[in-house]
Amino acid sequence: MSTVIPAIVAPSATDPLFTGTVERRDVGAKDVRIDIRWAGICHSDIHTVQGDWGPQPYPLTVGHEIVGTVAEVGSEVTNFAVGDRVGVGCLVNSCGECASCAAGAEQYCENGATGTYAAKDVDGTITQGGYATSVVVTEGFVLRVPEAIPFEKAAPLLCAGITTYSPLRHWNAGPGKKVAVIGLGGLGHMAVKIAHAMGAEVTVLSRSEAKRDDALKLGADHYFATEDRETFRTLRNEFDLIINSVSAAIDLDAHLKLLALDGTLVNVGAPSEPMGVRAGTLIGRRRSFAGSNIGGIAETQEMLDFCAEHGIAPEVEITSADQVNEAWARVLASDVRYRFVIDIETLRG
Ligand SMILES: [Zn+2]
Ligand SMILES: [Zn+2]
């Protein structure tokens, strides 16, 4: 049995999204049904639908920045009750048994974590994301959204927030550390806020001067435009950690040279093209080039609690179900400050 609910549907890689329906399974013993209130628009949603990361199972409903209210719980659910403010991010399941899962790093599950959309679910169906009025998720992958976080701003924390929080924590951003953030978009603006709240000295590296005022308001201490080649001389050997949030290829070697001894440049953006590195650039100051993928469930909860404690929330622009195609076009044009959130009430008939 399943329930048919309103959803925003991608019929193919190229056709516009339309308002249609999607099926949700009935609530099982360990499941939580969430009435979705707000859903963030992540660049990954667009990459996925447009086939940039491979062929997809259409029709498809995307969205992995989801917040809402618990509407129903299964008989064995212990951590959630009807009415709770909750969220769901990029994962809805994992094997629970491998070394990564045992370490709380479900995103690196060795048997393949289950993505919130376009993934094969345990029952063989394809998962469908959060551009919809409800979702059914096993309780182990449901997060609590603290009251201190404004609800309409909370959704982007579930992807953009954790994607930047996790590497900042892993590579010890904090007092005395110089952190640079490449790119000031959905991910980058969260990296700035979180690194600042952790106590690091934060520099934004953006292509032009256009976002200087915004960057400083978000918590950056310094701002440099990378179209000015002087920037690369001025900042040589400067940073302990660089978070690259750009999802297109950059001059990686030039940016690696901005790392101090033992510094690390972490890619959280996922460009489809390869990027070149000279070994000498790494060898010269024992530098590292790394990647990081979202975060585990416990770490995602830690991030939500951290944001509540430090008064951090994404900068959002609210959009409606009938404006999602326009919103996607603006995301592709980098014309959003800094994350679109869909008001899911506009999808309810
Ligand atoms: Zn995302
Ligand atoms: Zn696993």
The predicted-structure confidence for 274-311, as pLDDT tens digits, reads as follows: 999 999 999 999 999 999 999 999 999 999 999 999 99
Tokens read off for 205: 């590296």
pLDDT band at 327 (very low <50, low <70, confident <90, very high): very high
Among candidate residues 265, 203, 278, the one with its CA nearest the CA of residue 234: 203
For residue 268, the ligand closest to its alpha carbon is 1
Q: What is the CA angle 79-83-65, rounded to 5? A: 80
Whether the pLDDT of residue 123 is over 90: the answer is: no
What are the strands, taking DSSP E only, across the chain? Answer: 2-9, 18-25, 31-40, 66-73, 85-88, 91-93, 114-115, 134-138, 143-144, 178-182, 201-206, 222-225, 239-244, 259-267, 288-291, 316-320, 339-343
pLDDT tier, 175 (very low <50, low <70, confident <90, very high otherwise): very high
For residue 63, give the ligand nearest its CA: 1
**Nearest ligand, measured from the Cα of 105:** 2
Nearest ligand to the CA of 46 is 1
For residue range 36-57, list pLDDT tens digits in order.
Answer: 999 999 999 999 999 988 999 9
CA dihedral 19, 20, 26, 28 (to 10 degrees): -50
Q: Nearest 5 degrees, angle CA 216-CA 308-CA 69?
A: 125
Between CA 216 and CA 25 the distance in angstroms is 46
Which residue shows structure tokens 């969205």? 63
Distance 44 CA to ligand 1 centre (A): 5
CA of residue 105 to ligand 2 center, whole Å: 8
109 close to 95: Cβ distance less than 8 angstroms: yes
In the predicted structure, residue 128 carries a pLDDT above the cut 80: yes
Q: How far is the CA of 349 from the centre of ligand 1 (A)?
A: 27
C-alpha–C-alpha distance, residues 309 and 322, integer Å: 35
Per-residue pLDDT for 247 more than 90? Answer: no
Q: Are 258 and 281 in contact (CB under 8 A)?
A: no
For the chain, percent of residues with pLDDT exceeding 70? 100
Dump the DSSP string for 94-156: --S-SHHHHTT-GGG-TT--EESSSSB-TTSSBP--SSBSEEEEEGGG-EE--TTS-HHHHGG
CA of 345 to the centre of ligand 2 (A): 35
Contact by Cβ (8 Å): 235, 228: no
For residues 347 and 349, give the distance between their C-alpha atoms in angstroms, rounded to a whole number: 6
Q: Which domains does the chain have, with CATH numbers?
A: 2-158+295-347 (3.90.180.10), 161-291 (3.40.50.720)
Helix extents (H) in 221-322: 230-234, 252-256, 279-284, 297-310
Class of residue 319 by CB neighbours under 10 A (exposed 0-12, middle 13-18, buried 19+): buried
Q: What is the pLDDT of residue 53?
A: 86
pLDDT at 271: 86
Among 80, 78, 86, which Cα is nearest to 35's? 86
How far is residue 221 CA from its own chain's centroid?
24
Integer Cα distance of 134 and 158 in angstroms: 16
Rounded mean pLDDT of 67-93?
98
- Could you tell me if 171 and 242 are in contact, meaning their C-beta atoms sit under 8 angstroms apart? no
Ion ligand 2 neighbours, Cβ < 5 Å = 94-95, 98, 101, 109, 111
Rounded mean pLDDT, 13-33: 97
pLDDT at 161 over 80: yes
Q: What is the pLDDT of residue 185?
A: 94
User: What pairs with residue 241 in β-bridges?
Assistant: 179, 264
Alpha helices in 9-96 (DSSP H): 43-49
